[in-house]
A and B are shown apart, each in its own frame.
Chain A
Amino acid sequence: MSDLDLLREAMDVDEDDVRQLRARVRAGVARRRRRIWLLWPAAAAAVIAVWLWPVPETESLVISSPAPAAPAMTAARPAVLAPVLVHRKRKEPVVLHLETSDPDVVIYLVGSNGGAE
């Protein structure tokens, strides 16, 4: 007999070991099944309890017709009055200040070349 055969034989399991394991596994499976059988009714009871839980009365929502819309804003183009030259110095951009008929609207025209005459 080779050493590996001897080792195989020395470290083999017998029928008693296997039977014991089978019994333990079956007991484990039965425990799991019991746990599942307990878990399902508990879960179902929880769902039913949530379903039947009394909901407090709330005022019903009344949907009324919408309020009349505000008059649309008219975009009137303000008229440009007199242009005013703001800067007229060397090395500074030319800036024209245009006043309009609308006091809230002022137009500035700024030259892109700072030194332009």
Chain B
Amino acid sequence: MAADEMALEMTPKRISGAMTFEELMALAERPVLRVCYRLLGNRPDAQDAAQEVLLKAYGNMAKFQSGQDPMPWLYHVAVNQCRDRLRRRKYGTTLESITPRETTADPEQQAVQAERKRLLVEGLAGLGERERTALVLRDLEGLDTREVARILEVAEETVRSQCSVARAKLKQFIEARSAL
């Protein structure tokens, strides 16, 4: 998916007036699950965390009745939920969970891409929790720096610095592994 499309998909929609839980689910289920998966690194934990987040949203529906955009709140709760889970266990990704999609017909090209993806996922797993969170929200989810700073309750400079460190570490990891 192109970066613009991703950003468009991720840009929270302004909802005027009251919002039903079904509408909230339709808007938030995929992004919340995806963020949890990217932060936790495996699907079962991501399912558990996303379920918790959406049930919390269900209990806090009054917050969104005044037309308030629910996405920053949901991202904030999702990040906290994932942090709690990561404190209890290590970031983990199973190889079956990153089975690549067929984006090219050429089998050799597919194999190269699959290997690259595997390395990238390993690199993401090797990042510190804060750097990974900033990278996931800013670069993978396509949120802008100010929004990420608000979600993480840190300064915008901190987000920029964490993203930059994360990208550098990821690049370094890929280069080191590719050289082997």
Q: Which of A47-79 contact B (CB under 8 A)?
A: none
Closest chain-A Cβ to B93's Cβ sits at a distance in Å of 8
| Contact indicator A10/B58 (Cβ below 8 Å) | no
Interface range on chain A: under 10, 10 to 19, 20 to 34, or 35 or more? 20 to 34
Q: 18 additional contacts, CB 8 Å, given A5-B1, A6-B113?
A: A1-B103, A3-B116, A3-B170, A5-B2, A5-B3, A6-B116, A9-B100, A9-B103, A9-B117, A10-B117, A10-B120, A17-B33, A18-B33, A22-B25, A24-B47, A24-B51, A28-B54, A32-B59
* Complex Cα–Cα for A8 and B138 (A): 12
Q: Which of A10-55 contact B (CB under 8 A)?
A: 10-13, 17-18, 20-22, 24-25, 28-29, 32
Mask: chain B, 50-93; 1 = CB below 8 Å from A; 0 = not: 11001100110000000000000000000000000000000000
| Contact indicator A10/B121 (Cβ below 8 Å) | yes
Count of inter-chain pairs, beta carbons less than 8 A: 85
Q: Which of B101-140 contact A (CB under 8 A)?
A: 101, 103, 113, 116-118, 120-121, 124, 139-140
